[in-house]
A and B are shown apart, each in its own frame.
Chain A
Amino acid sequence: MTYSQSELGYIIADSLEGFTYKQKACFLAAVCGKRGEHIKYEQILIKSVGGGVYNKMRALFSSEAYRAQILERLDARGIVCVTPESAEYPERLANIPAPPHVLYCRGRTSLLKGECLGIVGSRRTPASTLAACKKFAGEISRVMTVVTGVADGADSAAVKGGLESGNIICVLPGGMDHIYPSSNSSLLKSVEERGLIISEWQPHIAVQRYMFTVRNRIIAGLSRGVLVVSAPKKSGALITANYAADYGREVFAFPHSLGISAGEGCNELIKNGAALCTNPLDILGAFGLEYKAEQQPLTPGERKVLCFLKDNGRSHVQAVAAGVGVMAFEAVTLLSSLEIKGLVARCGGNNYEAV
């Protein structure tokens, strides 16, 4: 991969280890920033790290051998770097207070420029919400790009939905060599092939706790809006929603019934002015986009079962059978068919819920 001189500046500066985001930003301004500001940032940085360290940084920065080594390391992993100097760097992300210096990418970097919607939620999300999340992600990804994380639960559901069209971006919390949780690595593999995975960390950097919050600003920063599918009172999904609100992006949330801990945060968001969202068109409409929803034909039996579930909420198969007036195994058949059509979700213990 070949980079322009200014892109290289970012990549090499970012590769210097042991410095904070601010220090790296100062260094960049000092070595390749605007003329006339060099001295100012140099002074700030020397104050922060000391003159000796600063000189070492400069020496390393201009060493050809070091540059070659860094680039080789990235090329070996098939990683493409996108910096604020690159054409692919999305303007929306550049406008946030602390945009990443480098996005380490694998997959279709062209997705970065598209219209994105962040989908976030809790790891412990009820099955019916997961099914809804997958369905929304699937439908929205036909017109927009879905941006999400890699955790179990809501993130994985959004990824699976987004994979249907391939318009999906996963933002990793740490470097690419450290997938967390590792059980999702096969899922990420398919995202890499059909969508895009990005990280602001060099590939060898392991995940640490604080990185999750830091990562959430990228999800919010990339997106025109963020959909919160589920969130307990204290959760990463809410942090992302707060970032989005701070950046002036739209915040959408699924409504939840009372007494479900995974829905408290969502309801709180709605109370505070987030857009209540029950249909993919709610989101697309807010951005002036639309798509044609497919209408799936239902048999009379399926329609009855679906109506029953919508009226009664989460129900046991036997309750459905009794309510619709069929044998239990016939109810199972109808529910299976509805599940395949994505209209009901199985939520454990032979219980089903309409999506």
Chain B
Amino acid sequence: MLAKVTSFALVGLDGIPVEVEADINRGMTSYELVGLPDAAVKESKERIYSAIHNSRMRFPVNRITVNLAPADIKKEGSHYDLPIALAILKAGEQIGGADFGGLVMMGELALDGSIRPVSGILPALISAKKRGFTKFIIPAKNANEAAYIEGVEVYALNTLSEAVALVTGERRFSPVETKSFTAVLKSSSYGTDMALVKGQQIAKRALEIAVAGWHNILLSGPPGAGKTMLARCIPTIMPDLTFEEALEVTQIHSVAGDLSEEGIISLRPFRTPHHTATTVSLCGGGNSKIKPGEISKAHKGVLFLDELPEYSRSALEALRQPLEDKQITVSRAGGAVTFPADFMLCASMNPCPCGNYGSTFKECTCTPAQIKKYRAKISGPLLDRIDLQVEVDGVKYEELASEEGGESSAEIKKRVEKARAIQRERFGSPMTNASMGEREIKKYCQLSPDCERILKSAFERLSLSARARSRIIKVARTIADLDYSAEIKPQHILEATSYRNFDVKEQ
């Protein structure tokens, strides 16, 4: 007899329905699995065999053929165990009355017959829903991932026997209850706050501007100045993730297989790849299954590159294109996959090799040539995409011991949200100031003659490089937004020019 079950294959974040067909005929005992399975899928036979036996059922002894259609897509991962097992049972007429119509299932089997969690449930669920599927069987441990999708009937089950009971109608199960995203949002916290950072008013202000306009930022400062701590506070002043954004982010992490118990990501990601990271680990890739890299995992959040000059040149240069396009297309021989990568880049570095350039209490021992060489490690085109470059102060002992903290993240966040609202209204889309092109700059950043004059003299006096111009204007636009000012005023331009340490042609 022939049996058919539907499952899903993932290509990037896209789910493609896969028909799992099992056919049992008379003949010499054999088991054939066809349809471009990879090693993990091929090995499923042994797991299925034991799982069926240990669920007090019988693995048919006949000529078994299992086909995964369409046969031209490579099938990867362990989530075909459950559909294959059920298809075999039905084809062997042990669960003859089972109804698989419109049902999508995914799950890995353990030898004892229990269902293990798998990665990529959420993106598969979302694409299946788009294709009209509404009924699902998934591993119980993945239940939370499915809990935020409305309009679907999801059964999160623990064992193969339960799955059998469900499809044969022996037992009734209640579908996973939908949870409210706002409740999760309220209960989650970043565990840090701007109020905990002592001093650093310039850097805090710069971070506020950066977040308000979604500008990338470079923090430079002596070792131990608190660059990392500041960076960790960035997500705390970002507007909360919307449900749609959260789903997008969760899908990426679901594919990467690093979702937590909660099932949905409600906090903005903060990724800190070490400087030994390879290009592939940053951008995504992989041998058979293409997985998202750090920049995609930082989608809608912060990618923090500590000690920027220490990263390999090729890894840094690879960031340039995603920084522009907000997504990355990873191409391999097996195909191309596009992952979203709309992250805010926050990088940190020392001002010079010894780290004490500009420090008030330690003398810098570097020669100008050494400093130049150190800074030249970051290419101009990459620096071009970093709108704000700020110095972080070295902290003295007295400051650390003092009580004075400053504004809390919540207060800053309120201002950021208002500035974002202004931007949404201006562009009529979720676009931000940082992604303005020349056309938008011309349209929305009209400079008064006064501002033009200041900008011109700034360029002459401070020997700024020409490409700093549009960057300064964009940042000035954001500062004006934070100031609720419709036009860019001279003081906005002036403040913007002060966040441009590295643009000065040379010191």
Q: Which of A90-98, A244-252, A325-333 contacts B (4 or more CB under 8 A)?
A: A325-333
Interface size of B as a range: 20 to 34
CB pair B358–A348 under 8 Å, yes or no, is: yes
Q: Which of B169-177, B283-291, B457-465 contacts A (4 or more CB under 8 A)?
A: B457-465
A349 within 8 A of B: yes
CB pair A127–B495 under 8 Å, yes or no, is: no
B387 within 8 A of A: no
CB pair B462–A156 under 8 Å, yes or no, is: no
Chain A residues, Cβ within 8 Å of B364: 348
CB pair B394–A349 under 8 Å, yes or no, is: yes
Chain A residues, Cβ within 8 Å of B391: 348-350
- Choose one: B201, B222, B357; the contact of A318 (CB below 8 Å): B201
Closest to A164 in B: B460
Given the complex of chains A and B, what is the CA–CA distance between A206 and B202 in angstroms? 47
Most-contacted residue by chain A among B369, B462, B494 (CB, 10 A): B494
Given the complex of chains A and B, what is the CA–CA distance between A333 and B495 in angstroms? 5
Q: How far is the CB of A141 from chain B (nearest CB, A)?
A: 15
Q: How far is the CB of B305 from chain A (nearest CB, A)?
A: 21
CB pair A349–B463 under 8 Å, yes or no, is: no
CB pair B368–A153 under 8 Å, yes or no, is: yes
With A123-B367, A318-B199 as contacts: A351 and B205 at CB distance below 8 Å: no
Q: Which of A53-61, A284-292, A334-342 contacts B (4 or more CB under 8 A)?
A: A334-342
CB pair A336–B368 under 8 Å, yes or no, is: no
- Choose one: B351, B372, B458, B463; the contact of A348 (CB below 8 Å): B351
Chain B residues, Cβ within 8 Å of A123: 367-368
Chain A residues, Cβ within 8 Å of B351: 348-349
Given the complex of chains A and B, what is the CA–CA distance between A141 and B368 in angstroms? 26
Given the complex of chains A and B, what is the CA–CA distance between A316 and B472 in angstroms? 23
Chain B residues, Cβ within 8 Å of A7: none
How many residues of chain A have a CB within 8 Å of chain B? 33
Given the complex of chains A and B, what is the CA–CA distance between A347 and B222 in angstroms? 14
B474-507: contact bitstring with A at CB < 8 Å (1 yes, 0 no)?
A: 0000000000000000010011011000000011
Given the complex of chains A and B, what is the CA–CA distance between A123 and B368 in angstroms? 7
Given the complex of chains A and B, what is the CA–CA distance between A156 and B372 in angstroms? 14
Given the complex of chains A and B, what is the CA–CA distance between A152 and B357 in angstroms? 16
CB pair B202–A328 under 8 Å, yes or no, is: yes
Chain A residues numbered 155-186 whose CB sits less than 8 Å from any CB in chain B:
156, 160, 181, 183
CB pair A351–B360 under 8 Å, yes or no, is: yes
Q: How far is the CB of A349 from chain B (nearest CB, A)?
A: 3
A124 within 8 A of B: yes
A299-325: contact bitstring with B at CB < 8 Å (1 yes, 0 no)?
A: 000000000000000101110010000
CB pair B498–A351 under 8 Å, yes or no, is: no
Q: How far is the CB of B417 from chain A (nearest CB, A)?
A: 19
Closest to B358 in A: A348
B221 within 8 A of A: yes
With A152-B369, A349-B393 as contacts: A328 and B457 at CB distance below 8 Å: no
With A317-B202, A341-B461 as contacts: A349 and B495 at CB distance below 8 Å: no
B454 within 8 A of A: yes
CB pair B368–A152 under 8 Å, yes or no, is: yes
CB pair B359–A333 under 8 Å, yes or no, is: no
Closest to B498 in A: A336
Chain B residues, Cβ within 8 Å of A336: 458, 494-495, 497-498
Chain B residues, Cβ within 8 Å of A314: 360
Given the complex of chains A and B, what is the CA–CA distance between A228 and B34 in angstroms? 84
B435-475: contact bitstring with A at CB < 8 Å (1 yes, 0 no)?
A: 00000000000000000001001100111000000000000
CB pair B495–A339 under 8 Å, yes or no, is: no
- Choose one: B369, B393, B498, B506; the contact of A333 (CB below 8 Å): B498
- Choose one: B202, B367, B368, B494; the contact of A350 (CB below 8 Å): B202
Given the complex of chains A and B, what is the CA–CA distance between A348 and B371 in angstroms? 13
Chain A residues, Cβ within 8 Å of B393: 316, 349-350
With A328-B205, A348-B391, A350-B393 as contacts: A335 and B498 at CB distance below 8 Å: yes
CB pair B358–A124 under 8 Å, yes or no, is: no
Given the complex of chains A and B, what is the CA–CA distance between A351 and B351 in angstroms? 14
Most-contacted residue by chain A among B222, B461, B463, B498 (CB, 10 A): B498
With A328-B201, A347-B358 as contacts: A340 and B367 at CB distance below 8 Å: no
CB pair A340–B202 under 8 Å, yes or no, is: no
Closest to A127 in B: B507
Given the complex of chains A and B, what is the CA–CA distance between A335 and B498 in angstroms? 8
Chain B residues numbered 312-363 whose CB sits less than 8 Å from any CB in chain A:
351, 357-360
CB pair B495–A329 under 8 Å, yes or no, is: yes
With A318-B199, A335-B498 as contacts: A349 and B368 at CB distance below 8 Å: no
Closest to B357 in A: A348
With A123-B368, A316-B393, A342-B461 as contacts: A349 and B359 at CB distance below 8 Å: yes
Chain A residues, Cβ within 8 Å of B491: 330, 333
B402-427: contact bitstring with A at CB < 8 Å (1 yes, 0 no)?
A: 00000000000000000000000000
Chain B residues, Cβ within 8 Å of A328: 201-202, 205
Contacts A347-B358, A349-B393 known; 8 new A-B pairs at CB < 8 A: A183-B372, A330-B491, A336-B498, A337-B454, A340-B457, A349-B351, A349-B359, A349-B391
> What are 10 residue pairs bridging A and B, where the CB atoms are less than 8 Å apart in the complex?
A156-B506, A316-B360, A328-B201, A330-B491, A339-B498, A340-B457, A341-B457, A341-B461, A350-B202, A350-B391
